[in-house]
C-alpha cells in the first residue's frame, strides 16, 4: 500500500514488478527445467520427463571420469580459497594503509584480471606455463585461478576496511599489542564479513572456472572441462545431473553469503 502511494501512480510500480518478473523468469526458467530434467528415468533428455528417478545421479557418482573431475575441481578450489584470501587480504591492507596517491592506480592494476578478457589471460598464462613446463598440473591451475579470485577478495575486504575505524587498531596498540596482534585480534574479527565473502567468491569462481583452465589442461579435466567435453560428444541426462549438483554447491555457498550478511548486520544491533 505505502509503496504504491510512494510512487504516486500505480502504473510505474506495476510496470516495475512486471519487468522484474519477466527478467527473473527468463533467468531462472532454464535452470528449473534443467533440474527437473536431471531426475529423468529415461536415457534421453526430455521436458517434462516421462518418468522420474535418480538413475543419472547414480551414474555420475559411480563414473570414474566424473568423480575424478569433481574431486580435481574441489581440490583446486580448496587450495585456491585460503591462498586467495591471504594474498587478497594482504593486498587490500596495502591499498588501504599505503600512500593515498598510489591507491587508485595500484588497485586498478591489481583488480584488472576481473575485467580483462579471460581468453587473453588464458593465452598468456598458457604460454608462460609452457615455458616453465608446468602446464597440465596444479602448479599452473592454482596461480591461474588466483589471478582471477584475488581481485574479488581485494574488493570485498577493501570495502570492509574502508568502513573500519583505524583508531580501534591504535587503541589495541597502545594497550600493548604489536601491529600484527592488533590486526589479528581486532581488525580481522571486525572485517570478518568481508573475509567470508571473499572466501566464498574465491571458492565459487575457482570451482566454476573454465576458459583459463581450458588453456592449461591436456589430460587432466576439471569439472567444467569434463562437462564441456561430454557435451561436445553427446547430450546425455548425466550432464543435467552434474549441472544440478554444481548448481546446488554454488547455491548453497551463495545462500550462506547472503545469510551471513543478514546475521552480521543484525549482530551490530543485538550483540
Partner 1 sequence: MSSVELKSIVKKYGAVTAVASIDLSVESGEFVTLLGPSGCGKTTTLRMVAGFIRPTSGQLYVGGSNMDGVPPHKRKVGLVFQNYALFPHMSVQKNIEFGLKMQNTPFEERKDKIIDALDLVKLRHLEHRMPSELSGGQQQRVALARALVIRPDVLLLDEPFGALDKQLRDHMRIELRELQQKLKISTLFVTHDQDEALSMSDRIVVMSEGQVSQIGSPVEIYEKPKTRFVTDFIGRSNILSGKIETEKSNKTCLNAEGLKLPNVSKTSHKSESILVMIRPECVLLKKPNSKNKITNYKNTAKILSIIYLGSIIQYKIKVNNGPALIVTESNVGYSDPKKFSLGDTAEIIIPENAIYLIPG
Would the CA dihedral through 69, 70, 73, 79 be positive or negative?
Answer: negative
Residue placing its CB nearer to partner 1 in the complex, 162 or 178? 178
Question: Torsion angle of alpha carbons 59, 64, 66, 70, nearest 10°?
Answer: 130
Residue placing its CB nearer to partner 1 in the complex, 70 or 191? 191
Q: What is the smallest separation between the CB atom of 141 and partner 1, expressed in angstroms?
A: 36
Residue placing its CB nearer to partner 1 in the complex, 8 or 176? 176
Q: What is the smallest separation between the CB atom of 182 and partner 1, expressed in angstroms?
A: 8
3-class DSSP state of 134: coil
Q: Which spans of this chain sit near partner 1 (rule: CB under 8 A)?
A: 165, 167-168, 170-179, 181-182, 185-186, 189-190, 268-269, 271
Q: What are phi and psi of 191, to 5 degrees?
A: -95, 15
Q: What is the smallest separation between the CB atom of 209 and partner 1, expressed in angstroms?
A: 34
Q: What is the smallest separation between the CB atom of 177 and partner 1, expressed in angstroms?
A: 5
Cβ 80 vs Cβ 146: under 8 Å: yes
Residue placing its CB nearer to partner 1 in the complex, 70 or 182? 182
Cell of 141: 591451475
Amino acid at each position: 500500500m505505502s509503496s504504491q502511494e510512494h510512487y504516486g501512480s500505480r502504473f510505474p510500480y506495476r510496470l516495475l514488478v512486471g519487468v522484474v518478473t519477466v527478467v527473473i523468469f527468463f533467468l531462472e526458467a532454464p535452470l528449473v527445467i534443467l533440474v527437473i530434467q536431471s531426475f529423468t528415468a529415461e536415457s534421453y533428455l526430455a521436458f517434462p520427463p516421462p518418468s522420474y528417478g535418480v538413475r543419472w545421479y547414480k551414474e555420475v557418482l559411480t563414473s570414474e571420469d566424473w568423480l575424478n573431475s569433481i574431486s580435481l575441481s574441489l581440490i583446486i578450489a580448496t587450495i585456491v580459497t585460503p591462498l586467495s584470501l591471504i594474498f587478497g587480504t594482504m593486498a587490500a591492507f596495502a591499498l588501504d594503509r599505503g600512500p593515498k596517491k598510489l591507491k587508485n592506480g595500484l588497485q586498478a592494476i591489481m583488480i584488472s584480471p576481473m575485467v580483462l578478457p579471460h581468453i587473453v589471460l588464458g593465452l598468456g598464462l598458457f604460454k608462460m606455463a609452457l615455458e616453465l613446463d608446468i602446464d597440465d598440473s596444479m602448479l599452473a591451475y592454482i596461480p591461474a585461478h588466483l589471478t582471477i579470485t584475488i581481485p574479488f577478495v581485494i574488493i570485498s575486504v577493501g570495502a570492509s576496511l574502508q568502513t573500519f575505524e583505524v583508531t580501534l587498531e591504535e587503541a589495541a596498540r597502545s594497550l600493548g599489542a604489536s601491529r600484527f596482534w592488533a590486526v589479528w585480534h581486532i581488525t580481522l574479527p571486525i572485517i570478518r564479513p568481508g573475509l567470508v565473502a571473499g572466501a566464498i567468491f574465491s571458492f565459487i569462481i575457482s570451482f566454476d572456472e573454465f576458459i583459463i583452465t581450458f588453456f592449461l589442461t591436456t589430460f587432466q579435466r576439471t569439472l567444467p572441462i569434463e562437462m564441456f567435453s561430454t557435451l561436445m560428444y553427446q547430450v546425455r541426462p548425466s550432464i543435467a545431473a552434474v549441472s544440478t549438483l554444481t548448481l546446488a554447491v554454488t547455491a548453497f555457498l551463495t545462500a550462506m553469503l547472503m545469510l551471513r550478511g543478514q546475521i552480521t548486520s543484525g549482530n551490530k544491533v543485538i550483540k
